[in-house]
Amino acid sequence: MIAFLKGEIEELEEAKVLLDVNGVGYGVFITGRDASALSGRRDRVKLFTYLQVREDAMQLYGFLKKDDLHVFQLLLGVNGIGPKAALGMLSALSANDIRFAVLAGDAKAIARAPGIGPKTAQKMILELKDKFDLQETFDSSLAESTEGTIPTGTTRQIQDEAVQALVALGYSGGEALKAVRAADTGEDMNTEDLLKAALKKLSLV
């Protein structure tokens, strides 16, 4: 198994990169997000890879983040989702967006990805819900934010409850998470206060 490749970018296409690794060119399929991140670059990069072996071909899929590779492999475990569809999902949604959509049962958000219909989205939710953790997803999303810091204890619980309440009101998991993250918080704020603040943020969007 090829766990990762480290080399210079020789060519970059919309969904594929040609990587020069010590004089050997590897064609690696990548997400649209990673293609955008690599646009204009010709330096040395590292891609975490998944090798698909078929009777008629061997294809490499690569990711700038190891977490994206992990979610990609979980998606492949869902009946009806192949590498192309999984790559499309990670192009339309971040790994954390996918996690949160699954945990929130947000089939609409999942079905926005190319090649994913409502039935496949529901199947994905059923098969992956036990593989993701709400708190880890929430913390990871906050850690990725340049403005956010990872909450602890009671504050974290209040944020979780506010996000779940927004999802119950019909907002997508991603919208709910962003609104709660952007809401002004105070030491004495409870779930109801945070929910009101988040709803105010959503009304301004």
What is the tens place of the pLDDT at every residue in 96-135?
A: 889 888 887 888 889 988 889 999 999 999 999 888 876 5
Same domain, 139 and 205: yes
Last residue of a domain, one of 17, 32, 64: 64
Answer for the pair 46, 34: CB distance below 8 angstroms, yes or no: no
Q: Same domain, yes or no, for 142 and 123?
A: no
Indicate whether 128 and 145 sit together in one domain: no
**pLDDT tops 50 at residue 74:** yes
Handedness of CA 13, 66, 50, 88 (dihedral sign): negative
Angle at 48 between CA 43 and CA 51, to 5 degrees: 120
- Split at pLDDT 50, 70, 90, the class of 189 is confident
CB 45: neighbour CB atoms within 10 A? 18
* Shared domain check, 137 and 127: no
Strand pairing report for 58-63 and 44-53? antiparallel
- The residue segments making up the domain with residue 184 are 133-205
Domain CATH code at residue 38: 2.40.50.140
Please tell me the predicted confidence (pLDDT) of residue 144: 59
Q: Quick one: tokens of 16?
A: 């594929």
Q: How far apart are CA 18 and CA 12, in angstroms?
A: 6
Residues 205 and 149 in one domain: yes
